[in-house]
Amino acid sequence: MTDTGQAPIDFWFDFSSPYGYLLSEKIDALAAQYGRRVKWHPILLGIIFQATGSRPPADGVSSKGTYMFHDFHRSARFMGIPYNPPSRFPLPTQNAARAYYWLDGQDCALARQFAQATYRAFFVDDRDISSPDTVLDIAGALGVDRAALAAALQSPDIKARLKSECDQALAAGVFGSPHVIIDGEAFFGADRLPQIDHWLKAGGF
């Protein structure tokens, strides 16, 4: 469908979020059905949790954590998305997020490819995406200049961009991942995909 010219849908996520990964595999295609674009915003959940006084929901020890680890698998099967639980979880994602924003400043489509490849590297191939070398390898496979990206990961401007995005997320009421905002209406979680579909179809409900 032709782009309607409406404001983009904002998709806030952390690269270590399983539900963010699941939604990332579906959100663009769904939005395109209604002539909408999606603006991807990688953020750092550590900053979000610290600012909101929250804690990671899946600790792997509590009953809630046990449930959520089970639900990651079940949700992936239900959505038809490959999922292989990473051996190290969660992990820091600032290098992946910085790489995304540097790429986004040059080529939005390439940045999107990198984001999807990074998510799959973590949640399918069990690669350590906290490692700068892994991030550089993922980007390099997409034809990105490795040396230029390595320098960008330490760039004050890119670090400031990521901080700004986290600040914007907090200002928008984002408290976790994934968080989708459509024309001011917020939806939290990959399981809200049917509601997002209906909202876009009906123009609200």
Query: 90: cis peptide before it, omega within 30°?
Result: yes
pTM for this model (two decimals): 0.94
| Nearest alpha-carbon partner for 42 in 8, 66, 12 | 12
Which letter does DSSP use for residue 181 in this model? E
Quick one: which H or E segment has residue 180?
strand 179-182
Count of residues making up the chain: 205
Each residue's pLDDT tens digit, 80-116:
999 999 999 999 999 999 999 999 999 999 999 999 9
- Fold observed for domain 9-202: Glutaredoxin (3.40.30)
What's the rounded Cα separation, in Å, for the pair 197 and 39?
A: 17
For residue 9, pLDDT over 60 is answered with yes
Residue 24: C-alpha distances to residues 29, 46, 132, 205 (Å): 10, 20, 22, 24
Ramachandran assignment for 179, one of left (phi > 0), alpha (psi -120 to 50 degrees), beta (any other): beta
Each residue's pLDDT tens digit, 112-142:
999 999 999 999 999 999 999 999 999 999 9
How far is Cα of residue 80 from the mean position of the Cα atoms in its chain?
18
Q: Which of 60 and 27 is assigned the larger pLDDT?
A: 27
Q: Are strands 185-188 and 38-42 parallel, antiparallel or unpaired?
A: unpaired
Each residue's pLDDT tens digit, 157-204:
999 999 999 999 999 999 999 999 999 999 999 999 999 999 999 998
